[in-house]
Amino acid sequence: MISSITPSPAITVPSNTSIRETLRVMRENQVGSVLVNDYQHPYSFAGIFTERDLLKWVGEIEKHGSWDTAIGTIMTKKVITLSLLEIDRAPEIMVEYNIRHIPIVYDSTDGSRVVAGVVSMRDLFRGMIRERTVEKTVTQFKNQRTLLLAHSDRERETQRRLLSDHLDLQVIPDPVDDLSALVPAILAGDLFIFDLDRFPAGFWPVLLKKLLDEQHRPQILIVYDPFLQEPKSVQVLRQLSKGSVLHVFPKPLNLLEYLRRIEKCLSESVKSPT
């Protein structure tokens, strides 16, 4: 299952940035932490500075008037991190170590550690709300049949992992040249999700025309990567989406947004089966 916890973008400052300037950056970005990079090696992750660090040091800073001291002198240097694959452990780690911010990292091809984002307590609450909203959004549609057509095994597996926990999903195993076999299978569902990417340019217009010519048809949700489609194709899709049956959305979609759009399609299918 895809994690409901989404890291926030990491806000960074060089280690020679003043405390005063660091606080201005935090205030401007409305964040409770910044990651600190070694100013001599800009891509080197050196530490983290949080609201708690400020509370710990504010007395000394006020006493000595040292707001222009480098943030690297008071940052937390021993930073607990998690990999992208461990992100679901964030709540457990926060409780265990009494922390509120965890950098999420991954190893690049050259072996260096790269920051993908930061998970905060606020992100955990957002994830909880997102998870509950997702469950509420799709519960009423669990018994409606959704069919998915994608071009490659990789794209089919990506979509399956994203949606199978939430919908009665059937993945059409292999695109077939004979549309006479494909169209009836699609017509038997309540919703047809069509991942348009990498299909031949002449395939999808013919398939969509056959479906739209049918009186009793499912709602149709098309997803596509704008960078993989010709501008003319995107324009045609947008024109087609002005009807009540065809829904066209660019990628990427986060899980909640994806399910909300599926909910909209299925709601219209329930209200207007034709």
Confidence at residue 68, expressed as pLDDT on a 0 to 100 scale: 95
- pLDDT classification of 196: cutoffs 50, 70, 90: confident
Distance separating alpha carbons of residues 94 and 185, to the nearest angstrom = 48
Question: What value does the mean pLDDT of the chain take?
Answer: 81
Is 50 exceeded by the pLDDT of residue 129? yes
CA dihedral of residues 187, 192, 196, 202 (deg, nearest 10): 10
Average pLDDT over residues 209-222: 86
Average pLDDT over residues 175-191: 80
Confidence at residue 59, expressed as pLDDT on a 0 to 100 scale: 93
Distance separating alpha carbons of residues 44 and 39, to the nearest angstrom = 8
Q: What percent of the chain has pLDDT over 90?
A: 28
Confidence at residue 150, expressed as pLDDT on a 0 to 100 scale: 86
Tell me which of 97-101, 129-133, 154-158 is least confident.
129-133
- pLDDT classification of 135: cutoffs 50, 70, 90: low
Q: What six digits make up the tokens of 8? A: 């926030």
- pLDDT classification of 274: cutoffs 50, 70, 90: very low
Domains and CATH numbers, the chain: 12-128 (3.10.580.10), 140-271 (3.40.50.2300)
R_g over Cα of the chain:
24
Q: What percent of the chain has pLDDT over 70?
A: 79
Is 90 exceeded by the pLDDT of residue 236? no
Look-up of token digits 């939430």: 166
Confidence at residue 174, expressed as pLDDT on a 0 to 100 scale: 67
Is 90 exceeded by the pLDDT of residue 119? yes
Instruction: Catalogue the long-range contacts made by 25-30 (C-beta closer than 8 Å, 24 or more residues apart).
Output: 26/51
pLDDT in tens, 19-63: 999 999 999 999 999 999 986 665 568 899 999 999 999 999 998
Is 80 exceeded by the pLDDT of residue 69? yes
Is 80 exceeded by the pLDDT of residue 273? no
Pairing of strands 33-38, 41-50: antiparallel
Confidence at residue 1, expressed as pLDDT on a 0 to 100 scale: 40
pTM: predicted TM-score of the whole model, two decimal places: 0.51
Confidence at residue 208, expressed as pLDDT on a 0 to 100 scale: 86
Q: What six digits make up the tokens of 243? A: 């009807």
Distance separating alpha carbons of residues 234 and 125, to the nearest angstrom = 37
Backbone angles phi, psi at 99, to 5 degrees: -125, 165
